[in-house]
Structure 1
Amino acid sequence: MSILHILNGDSTRYGFEQTGIEGDIMVWREVLSEGPVEENISAASFWHNREEWILKTFNEQPEDYQHKMLDELSKLNGQYDEVNLWFEFDLHCQANLLGVLAYMEQKTDLSLPAVYLICPGDFPGKADFRGMGELNGEELEYLFDNIQEQLSQEDFTIAAAAWKAYVSKNAEVLRKFVDGTEFWGSHHFLKPALQAQLNLLEINENGLNYIEQTLLDIYQSGIRTKPEIYLEFWKTEKIYGMGDAEIDIYARKLNLELK
């Protein structure tokens, strides 16, 4: 049986390579929680716009994006009997997961592969669990054996509707979807992630969204170095799943003078 594992990043890949789990690996190195998105993720324009934004925002070279993302994406054209999706609870991962599912539905004959989701919200013995990147091979095998969940066609339908609401970048549209959805299927962490996205679409009296205001509050409290700001932000805002580079996007918008 041919198996594909789609991993949420290289930090998970390092641990996954220590497991005895069979199958090919594809690493999803996108950040669909930021930047331009559109409903038709299989369109060439989608990936052109993503590449243009990634290169500008993170100062990468075209060949880097081609190698890190587009070459990996081509693996979804293969014929697999089983596909396992390894994504986490936060907005960063949930947005990427919606993108993967949208791409698969638009490009793949879903009558062939069985699609499974491994999506942990916590891990036994880890009080401040932040993601699979902190797990070793044995711990990832534990997740595979205990929380792997097969996705149904209804799960794909829910994901497609969520993706459409998400890419609208419209708070009213997204709120209507979140409030109007009573059954979330196997997407146990999608609702809180989309609620976090709503906070980014709503602008306060200072003209800032939730993350911008949070970072400004941290800065004005006297914390002025990047490492300290990152740590302070992560204490309360791990729902966003943001790394250093993503936080820097917002810090630059605010013109914060960081050490």
Structure 2
Amino acid sequence: MSLSYHILNGDMLRQQFPKNISGETIICREALVDGEVNAGSLDELFKSRAAYLSQYEGTNTDYYKDVVPEFQKIINIPEHAEVNLWFEFDLFCQVNLWFVISLLKNQHINLVLPQSEQGFGIMNEKELRVAFECKKGLSQSQLIALKELWPAYQSNNLSKIEELAARQRNAFPFLLKAAKANERVLNGDLRNTIKQILAQTNPADFNEVFRQFCRQEPTFGFGDLQVKRIYDEFISNR
């Protein structure tokens, strides 16, 4: 019987993960959608990410204790093992997925997808079990295309990301939405959206700005830390 691994995007999913699904769980604790990711090696990337994320207030993550060891577990997954990738449709999750896939080799890789764009968070154990039973195995051509997304993202190659996403639109239509959302981040449209919400919120309460942002822009999947950084920039420049 082959070994089975489940790579989960975040600790929240691990807390609700069905106990009757066997296999080792590995947690992706990154936010690669936010900050610099272009690096010549994994060691350089980890060093850069650790320095960047340490600037965040309100995060207690020790990068080399909590994040890197999980990625090392992914790198060490044996060939021909079954790997199940539990990632949602939004840009935040997709960028993490692209990186994780870049670390995998000759395993049997499946995507486990939520029932809706609202993600895994609203699903109970029974629904998560059904999602697992409906997992989608990646063909070799699909895997090759998905592996190319990470280097394209690292170099801000928008045309390449869109080309790869369009190539897989029939199997994975959410990739094009993520590609468009990434373009909006780089062209400043995301910042303009937050600025507009902030202008309409009186007083300038962050919690309300964040709630409105999540309602208006679910495709990004940003957490409060990512939105707070942009919010703080606008507040400090008032």
How big is the shift at 1:228? 1.0
Structure 2 residue identity aligned to 1:115: I
Q: 1:166 aligns with which of 142, 147, 153?
A: 153
Higher mean C-alpha deviation, range 217-226 or range 46-55: 217-226
Shift of 1:181: 5.8
CA distance in 2: counterparts of 1:257 and 1:225, whole angstroms: 16
Cα offset, 1:249, TM superposition: 1.4
User: Aligned match of 1:175 in 156, 159, 169?
Assistant: 159
- Partner residue, 2:4: 3
Q: Are 1:218 and 2:197 an aligned pair?
A: yes
Specify the SS of the correspondent of 1:20: coil
Q: Distance in 2 between matches of 1:59 and 1:48?
A: 20
Deviations 1:128-180 (A, max 9, x none): x522123221111011112x0111221222123322221112xxx31354157
Counterpart amino acid of residue 195 in structure 2: L
CA distance in 2, matches of 1:121, 1:196: 21
- Does the CA contact (< 8 Å) of 1:155 and 1:187 recur in 2? no
**Which moves more between the two structures, 232-241 or 214-223?**
214-223
Deviation by residue 1:36-64 (Cα, 9 ceiling, x = unmatched): 11265x52101111111111234656x72
Corresponding residue pairs, total: 233
Superposed counterparts of 1:77-226, under 5 Å: 77-79=76-78, 81-104=81-104, 108=105, 110=106, 113-120=107-114, 122=116, 129-146=117-134, 148-169=135-156, 173-175=157-159, 177-179=161-163, 182-184=166-168, 186-202=171-187, 209-223=188-202, 224-226=204-206
> Cα offset for 1:78?
3.3
Hey, what's the Cα distance between the residues in 1 that align with 2:130 and 2:112? 11
Secondary structure in 2 aligned to 1:57?
Answer: coil
Which 5+ residue runs of structure 1 have no aligned equivalent? 123-128, 203-208
* 8 Å Cα contact 2:91-2:220 kept in structure 1: yes
Query: Equivalents in 2 of 1:213, 1:221: separation in Å?
Result: 12
Contact 2:181–2:219 (8 Å) recurs in 1: yes
Q: CA RMSD in A?
A: 2.3
